[in-house]
Structure 1
Amino acid sequence: MDDEVQVQCPYCFQWQLLVVDPQTRGVMIQDCDVCCRPWRVYVERDADGRPRVSVERS
Structure 2
Amino acid sequence: METEITYICNACGEDIVIPLDPSQGSVQEFVEDCPVCCRPHVIHVEIDDDGQARAWAEPEQDYD
Q: What band does the TM-score fall into relative to the shorter chain?
A: 0.7 to 0.9
The structure with more helix, counted as a fraction of residues: 2
- Computed over aligned residues only, the root mean square deviation of the Cα atoms, in angstroms, reads 1.7
Q: What is the identity, as a one-letter code, of the residue corresponding to 1:23? A: S
Number of equivalent positions: 58
Bigger fraction of residues in strand: 1
Alignment-derived partner of residue 13 in structure 2: 13
1:56 is aligned, of 38, 55, 58, to 58
Where does the alignment leave 5 or more consecutive residues of structure 2 unmatched? none
Gaps of 5+ in 1: none
Normalised to the residue count of structure 2, the TM-score between the two structures is 0.75
Shift of residue 44, structure 1, vs aligned partner = 1.0
Which of residues 26, 29, 32 in structure 2 aligns to 1:30? 32
The list of structure 1 runs, each at least 4 consecutive aligned residues, that deviate by more than 2 angstroms after superposition, is none
CA offset at residue 46 of structure 1? Answer: 0.6
Structure possessing the higher radius of gyration over alpha carbons? 2
Q: Percent identity?
A: 34
Per-residue deviation, 1:50: 2.1
Compared CA separation, residues 50 and 23, structure 1 to 2 (3 A): farther
| TM-score, normalization by structure 1 | 0.81
User: Shift of the alpha carbon at 1:2?
Assistant: 6.1
